[in-house]
Amino acid sequence: MEHWGPERIDDIVAHLAVTMPAEDLTADEILTACYDRPGVVLAEPAGIVAVGVGRSLDGELVATVRLLSVSPEDPDVIHRLLTDAEQWARERDARRVELGGALPFFLWPGVEVGSPLLAAAATRGYLEVEGFEAHGVPNSFRAEPPVGIEIRRAVSDEQVTAVQLAAAARWPWWSDEIARALDHGTCHVALDPDETVIGVGCHSITRATWVGPLLVVDTHRRRGIGHALLGAICRDLMIADFPIAEVPRVDGEAMEAFVRAAGARPVRAYRRLVLELR
């Protein structure tokens, strides 16, 4: 098993173009997911696995499999790749291995239903801990903000600084994703009459069309601010000729009601799988 560094990105893109052409992953998306955080990409002729280690929301040291791609001619390579990924995680004292989006930046929020990885992981002792769906919002969706609330793209130095400070104070877990959206010009901000940041809506951080983080402070929820931010995101994606804005993780009745009110429909189903290492 070889270690592939960022200099092999063209080889990774070429491999994925054969094994999962429908995903249409770009070099920038792969670089962000696999190399922007400490981790490793392991490869053999029939497959590639990318895994990283970091702190999850519960504070535990966990490993996340960010990418696993195998040649259809050699499906057994899934087990070889997972064996090496699990061993790499153990050597770094990870408590568990998660398949999908436990850590930023992820290419998938979980294991897609119907994927060969789902069945292979089950035979290795991975346990399914939750299931959820991704929803697609039509790019035509728009919503006016409440009276007194303004939605802007965060591009000026002053706005960028205000968003960064708000993220650090209110949403520290999402600070890295918000920072990347600010760099890309894909962060919209909701401001109250005092120019205070009360919400942010980001998109296309790791995957083009993906929505998130989409955050509104608790005291201003259920007023239409979230939908106004989502509408601004949909406008961006319409201009870029993408038909939908994809919300990669919809779990819970409140979130489902929110996206369905914007005309969303399920587009993919995922399962979150975890292997306890100790």
For residues 212 and 233, what is the distance between their CA atoms, to the nearest angstrom? 10
Give the helix/strand (H/E) hosting 150. strand 150-153
- CA 255, 259, 261, 267 torsion-angle sign: negative
Domains and CATH numbers, the chain: 2-133+270-276 (3.40.630.30), 140-242 (3.40.630.30)
Which residue is it, tokens 């190399």? 35
pLDDT of res. 105: 85
* 78's tokens: 């899934």
pTM: 0.92
Q: What is the pLDDT of residue 36?
A: 79
Residue by residue, DSSP assigns 76-132 as THHHHHHHHHHHHHHHTT-SEEEESSSSSSPS-SSEETT-HHHHHHHHTT-EEEEEE
What pLDDT is stored for residue 74 in this prediction?
Answer: 79
Q: Specify the DSSP element, H or E, that contains 211.
A: strand 211-216
Which tokens go with 255? 């979130």
What tokens appear for 174 in the block?
């999402």
Closest CA to 181 of 211, 225, 224: 211
Helix residue spans in the chain (DSSP H):
9-19, 27-35, 77-91, 116-123, 157-170, 175-184, 225-239, 253-260
Tell me how far CA of residue 223 lies from CA of 28, 192, 266, in angstroms: 36, 12, 24
Q: How far is CA 230 from CA 41, 193, 224, in A?
A: 34, 20, 10
Tell me, what's the pLDDT at 51? 95
Q: Give the model's pLDDT for residue 38.
A: 74
Per-residue pLDDT of the chain (278 residues; tens, 9 = 90+): 899 999 999 999 999 999 999 999 999 999 989 987 778 999 999 999 999 999 888 888 999 999 999 988 777 899 999 999 999 999 999 999 999 887 888 899 999 999 889 999 999 999 999 999 999 999 999 999 999 999 999 999 999 999 999 999 999 999 999 999 999 999 999 999 999 999 999 999 999 999 999 999 999 999 999 999 999 999 999 999 999 999 999 988 999 999 999 999 999 999 999 999 97
Q: How far apart are CA 200 and CA 258, in angstroms?
A: 16
Q: Which pLDDT tens digit goes with each residue over 205-258? A: 999 999 999 999 999 999 999 999 999 999 999 999 999 999 999 988 999 999
